[in-house]
Amino acid sequence: MTARTITYRDAVHEALREALRGDERVFLMGEDVGYYGGAYACSKGLIQEFGEERIRDTPLSESGFVGAGIGAALGGMRPIVEIMTVNFSLLALDQIVNNAATLRHMSGGQLSVPLVIRMATGAGRQLAAQHSHSLECWFAHVPGIKVVAPATIEDARGMLSTALADPDPVIIFEHATLYNEQGELPETDDYAKDIESARISRAGGDITLITYGGSLQKTMAAAEDLAKDGIDCEVIDLRSLRPIDDATIMASLAKTHRAVIVDEGWRSVGLAAEISARISEQAFFDLDGPVARVCSAEVPIPYPRHLEMAATPQPDKIAAAAREVLRR
């Protein structure tokens, strides 16, 4: 199989273009997605190809244009709504939680909301406290929606088409530090990827490292560092945050008997806590030690580079947590 080198940004762009070319019901809307090309240049050139009817620049009103996307989905369209960064999604929480996520249930199955919401998330670009949130767990808490976090170029390219085919809302979190990352994308006639299962990114037998999104590369780096000391790590990329693939996690723990969860969200009441609880409920007797969590510090994300790095998970912190669990 041949492959080509491509950036995460270009993978997202290709996925958007493929969706627009393949289905006339698909359109993209959001702030600056048109002539500016998107805050992260993922939609650059699309308005010239597809026109203003299908690439729609919106006012600065997340509640308004997310609500419009919900209405369009109810009317039979397949909207892709781009929210510039995750903090701005808070202005649309009512639309997402009280409308998009509930209408199938409240209508007795008569209505569906086939809506895809994309947004950038996470720290690492010195955007300070108001633009560096990792709020994936907020949305993963809500029944009625799916939440995915593509950490690889293959998933950035392939998850969108599957999300658009889903009859219910899907939220795609794209970590802002990944857009410039390059990697190999295998050539195929069908790039679609599932949006409900985890993936073993690195097989190992000593300890399981569980992560997602922008923390995957850091976790893989920690695993390589630990391998130099003879510690064989298995790395799980969750990929889907709602639903969570319990089976893959528990199968790994049955082999390694130890776990570290890496989550850029804050430690308290977060996704790492949820996964730790599930492990306790489903695999307690497989464990040979306590589950460790590596999360962001309980502070607003700082602006200075050295403080931002100190406040968020890094490879050395992940490796240290693994060594502590293994008592090595």
Q: Per-residue pLDDT averaged across 281-286, rounded?
A: 98
Alpha helices in the chain (DSSP H): 8-22, 46-50, 62-74, 93-95, 103-106, 136-140, 153-165, 216-227, 246-256, 271-283, 305-311, 315-326
pLDDT digits (tens, 9 = 90+) for 216-240: 999 999 999 999 999 999 999 999 9
**Structural domain boundaries in the chain:** 3-186, 199-326
Query: Is 306 annotated in the active site?
Result: no
pLDDT digits (tens, 9 = 90+) for 118-160: 999 999 999 999 999 999 999 999 999 999 999 999 999 999 9
Q: Beta-carbon neighbour count of residue 49 at 10 Å? A: 11
Q: Whole-prediction pTM value? A: 0.97
Predicted confidence band at 304 (pLDDT cuts at 50, 70, 90)? very high
Residue of 13, 14, 31, 62 with catalytic role: 62
Residue 5: predicted pLDDT: 97
Q: Tell me: domain 199-326, CATH 3.90.1150.10, correct? A: no
Which of helix, strand or coil describes residue 277?
helix
Distance spanning both ends of the chain, measured CA to CA: 41
Residue 1: predicted pLDDT: 73
Q: Which residues contact 298 (CB under 8 A, 6 or more apart)?
A: 266, 267, 268
What CATH superfamily classification does 3-186 receive? Thiamin diphosphate (ThDP)-binding fold, Pyr/PP domains (3.40.50.970)
Query: Is 62 annotated in the active site?
Result: yes
Residue of 31, 82, 131, 136 with catalytic role: 131
Residue 174: predicted pLDDT: 98
The average confidence (pLDDT) of the chain is 97
Q: Per-residue pLDDT averaged across 18-41, rounded?
A: 97
pLDDT digits (tens, 9 = 90+) for 106-119: 999 999 999 999 99
242 neighbors 145 (Cβ within 8 angstroms): yes
Same fold, 3-186 and 199-326: yes
